[in-house]
Structure 1
Amino acid sequence: MREKLMEKLHSRKDEMIEIRRYLHENPELSFKEEKTAKYIADFYKDKDVDIETNVGNGHGIIVTIHGGKPGKTFGLRADFDALPITEEADVPFKSKNEGVMHACGHDAHTAYLLILADCLIQLKDDIKGTIKIIHQHAEEVPPGGAKSIVETGKLDDLEAIFGIHVLPLGPAGTVGYHSGYSFNGRTYFKLIIKGKGGHGSSPDKANDSIVAGSYFVTAAQTIVSRRVNPMKAGVVTVGSFDGKGSFNVIKDSVEIEGDIRYSDKEVQDVIEKEFHRIVKGIEELFGVSCELTYKPDYPPLYNDPELTDFVAETLENADDKEIKKVEEFPKMAPSDDFAYYLEKIPGSYFYIACTPKGVEDPYFNHHPKFDIDEDAILVAAKAVGHVTCSYLEG
């Protein structure tokens, strides 16, 4: 089966690229991917599979491939939403939707998985088990699509789950992996500090929210530097401080928004505890009132060590000319809602290098000039294909 699958994938490389370019030209934002979801669902029409659409809190799709023989049940996932970015990449298949761009590679994720799934469908009589293909909406915008798909219970029978992300961390042909905590978790916060407005000449008759807010910004930075284990990672970022007013008027309120990242559950708990403690202290110290919105978005992404070792060993022994190098990648600072699958299902999320040919300093994901070496799409299909075959073989 492995040999047949790899031959089929190799012969359909151009089709993968064609699909990727179509999706790249027609990107849609999270929770608004109606046409993309229809394109995906139409791809599976008249194929011998079960198709479920509108899964979760949006346009999620689950395609179930029932193998011809009993065996394991596992899942493969790819996301398909785009970002609110105006494309600046100089490519002939540039986004047609102004202000929307596939700047994170989800077009490539979807392209490889569509063709891989179709090839697996053609070989379903040889499959020992069941494969659920998860085309996921809204990875980029919390609460995301993954959590809602998990909560439907439609994946409760999975014994494992696998996914990939394209990253410009090496030439096409390089596959990366990382065991354990691999992507940071993320929390959004908004803090409204309410004081008492007044004339700039009479601060004693007012209660300056800007002073209290400024103190908060400084104090919040001590959480990581003085409360988090220095061998672990945490970031508190204040991205917006809305205190605009008149030069001679003491503001009665300010609004502060930001982003918190953490490498694991322990750091997440420490930051949350200290964050609330500082807010209470601000109220007491400055005599202000605070309204805090503190919303964990995505948990830290934890790759099952045993299954990640399995992925690495499988690809190292694949003897595939497209997979030229398999190496351990460092932990990643971004977040991904694939973490929600891994909270419930053991699995591994690994990486497909995609630096464009001849580029020494590539634009990273989410940049308006982000682009990939399209050879990486076939690498992704083959890498996940090898993992699929090895997992089915036990």
Structure 2
Amino acid sequence: MSFKEELMQRLNEKEERMIEIRRYLHQYPELSFCEEKTAKYIADFYEGKHCTVRTGVGGNGIVVTIDSGKPGRTLALRADFDALPIQEETGLAFSSKTPGVMHACGHDAHTAYMLILAETLSELQEYWQGKIVILHQHAEELPPGGAKAMIADGCLDGVDNVLGLHVISSLKNSTVYYHAGPIHTGQSGFKVVIHGRAGHGSMPHETHDAILAASDLVVSLQSIVSRRVNPFEMTTLTVGRFEASGASNAVNGQVVLEGDVRTLSSEVQSLVEIEFKRILDGIALMYNVTYELDYRHNYPVTVNDEKLTNFVADSLKKSSIPEVMEVLDSGSQGPSEDFAYYAEVKPSCYFHVGAAPKDGQFYPHHNGKFTIDENALLISAKAMGAVVADYLEKYQ
């Protein structure tokens, strides 16, 4: 029996354990940068196994190295494990036991499949050459994310390539998706505090109206997307918070705005910031107000290495995994990912596993009713495992 065949068979036998681990983690979610118990659970899982474990990497990150003892390339596999500040509304028997915190993005599934895959790869060391590095990453959800700190702490030292995947509730079940080049947007965030001069509503000429200035800013910012950015460049700019408390018969002297920008190129990411500040300066001059601005580039664009991604796609198509009905090019996707930082350092590939419930009733990620079909765990383990097996065979 070949390495890949043995790997697939053992993963079949461990599917129930994957689901049990996922359900346990789902009940005990922890927020970004606060994942101490989850990190300990992960580290304890590897106790007594044929690998080395380094904890506290860049914070709560864990790096597991499986060394075959034979020369070869070093391949890193990444899985994130933080949760979100969301109240669960699924009604599942294994719902979150922590009020206001939920695995509403699938990171519990990522951790569960990766633990079992890593265990199985360690059991089959005689079949392959080189090293496999497992990156159990904390804090993907909250900028600046955990990836940057883990990289600074040496998690990619000696690594040749990095692979990762994400289960997606809105993508077709039993389907694996890939895309070469930019696959996830870069994300920037901003906070603007506009300071005017408050006063009585009957004497507006003695005031500097912060609400009027802020309202004009919200509308004018959309001209960046419609008039400053090439229409063939995907860009979104969202003002998600507009806060101005005060009396109804008074002119407000302060407004707070916060929002989000997504782009598919670093050049456009920089352009939007320049144009944002130009418009804000004009608004301030027009309405005689002042402002404070915090503009942050939180995550860069996630760019999949073309050669490695083509290899991943070919491997997935040729592996004929029974649970996988199709392997498709997904095109670029709107969300952002701090996997982007790994891809900036090493040739990398990030792909997706469709996890829509079979009844077709899905809820989006970051929703209190978010669920996945748990068959995505075995598919994720087999898809990643098949690519790993082909990669190690190619470079042995």
Counterpart position of 2:44: 42
Counterpart position of 1:388: 388
Counterpart position of 2:98: 97
Structure 1 residue 170: deviation in Å? 4.1
Question: Structure 1, unaligned stretches of length 5 or more?
Answer: none
Q: Percent identity?
A: 50
Q: Does the CA-based 8 Å contact 2:357-2:371 persist in structure 1? A: yes
Structure 1 residue 71: deviation in Å? 0.5
Match of 1:51 among 53, 65, 70: 53
Structure 1 residue 365: deviation in Å? 1.4
Match of 2:18 among 16, 19, 22: 16
Counterpart position of 2:33: 31
| 1:347 matches 2:348 | yes
Counterpart position of 1:374: 374
SS for the counterpart of 2:96 is: coil
SS for the counterpart of 1:220 is: helix
Counterpart position of 1:328: 329
Q: Compare 240-249 and 36-45 and name the one that shifted more.
A: 240-249
Counterpart position of 2:295: 294
Q: CA RMSD in A?
A: 1.2
Change beyond 3 A, Cα 1:217–1:78: same
Structure 1 residue 69: deviation in Å? 1.2
Matched residue type, 1:360: G
Q: In the aligned structure 2, how far is the partner of 1:60 from the partner of 1:325?
A: 33
Structure 1 residue 154: deviation in Å? 2.8
| 1:233 matches 2:217 | no
Q: Does the CA-based 8 Å contact 1:68-1:125 persist in structure 2? A: no
Q: Does the CA-based 8 Å contact 1:67-1:128 persist in structure 2? A: yes
Matched residue type, 2:387: V
Q: In the aligned structure 1, how far is the partner of 2:251 from the partner of 2:4?
A: 71
Q: In the aligned structure 2, how far is the partner of 1:289 from the partner of 1:355?
A: 48
1:47-84 per-position Cα deviation (integer Å, ceiling 9, x unaligned)? 2211111111x210000111131100120000011111
Matched residue type, 2:107: H
Structure 1 residue 87: deviation in Å? 1.2
Q: In the aligned structure 2, how far is the partner of 1:94 from the partner of 1:209?
A: 44
Question: Structure 2, unaligned stretches of length 5 or more?
Answer: none
Matched residue type, 1:20: R
Q: Compare 35-44 and 192-201 and name the one that shifted more.
A: 192-201
Q: Does the CA-based 8 Å contact 1:75-1:158 persist in structure 2? A: yes
SS for the counterpart of 1:326 is: strand
SS for the counterpart of 1:333 is: strand
Q: Does the CA-based 8 Å contact 2:192-2:291 persist in structure 1? A: yes
Matched residue type, 2:127: D
Matched residue type, 1:305: E
Q: In the aligned structure 2, how far is the partner of 1:248 from the partner of 1:96?
A: 45
SS for the counterpart of 1:77 is: strand
Q: Compare 124-133 and 379-388 and name the one that shifted more.
A: 124-133
Q: In the aligned structure 2, how far is the partner of 1:90 from the partner of 1:245?
A: 39
After superposing on structure 2, the runs of 4+ consecutive aligned residues of structure 1 that deviate more than 6 Å are none
Q: In the aligned structure 2, how far is the partner of 1:252 from the partner of 1:86?
A: 34
1:243-296 per-position Cα deviation (integer Å, ceiling 9, x unaligned)? 111122222221111111112212212111101111121222222211100011
SS for the counterpart of 1:186 is: strand
Structure 1 residue 159: deviation in Å? 1.1
Q: In the aligned structure 1, how far is the partner of 2:171 from the partner of 2:204?
A: 57
Q: Does the CA-based 8 Å contact 2:135-2:155 persist in structure 1? A: no
Matched residue type, 2:20: E
Q: Does the CA-based 8 Å contact 1:178-1:331 persist in structure 2? A: yes
Q: In the aligned structure 2, how far is the partner of 1:154 from the partner of 1:314?
A: 26
Counterpart position of 1:364: 364
Number of residue equivalences? 392
Counterpart position of 2:211: 210
SS for the counterpart of 2:73 is: strand
Alignment of 1:146-161 (within 5 A): 146-161=147-162
Q: In the aligned structure 2, how far is the partner of 1:170 from the partner of 1:245?
A: 44
Matched residue type, 1:247: S
Counterpart position of 1:281: 282
SS for the counterpart of 1:181 is: strand
